[in-house]
Amino acid sequence: MSGRRATGAANQIIGGGFTFLDFVPAAGSVAASVPVTTNGEPARVELYAALSALSQVGD
């Protein structure tokens, strides 16, 4: 899973979004497009990766 958090000028969270990635190779990287919904113009948008209940880890 990949999530994004949007923060405003006063460093408050003003939005976010998430998507699920099909496959990420070990020690690799992938391109991701994550839709974000905000309440205002973001000053910064950050991307985070996380495991979810749908993640398959190991063999």
- Give the span between the Cα atoms of 6 and 16, in whole angstroms: 6
At residue 1, the pLDDT reads 67
pTM of structure: 0.68
Alpha carbon distances (Å) from 52 to 18, 20, 22, 59: 12, 9, 12, 17
Residue 20 has a pLDDT of: 86
pLDDT given at position 11: 92
pLDDT tens per residue, range 18-58 = 888 888 888 888 888 899 999 999 999 998 888 888 777 77
Alpha helices in the chain (DSSP H): none
pLDDT value of position 59: 64
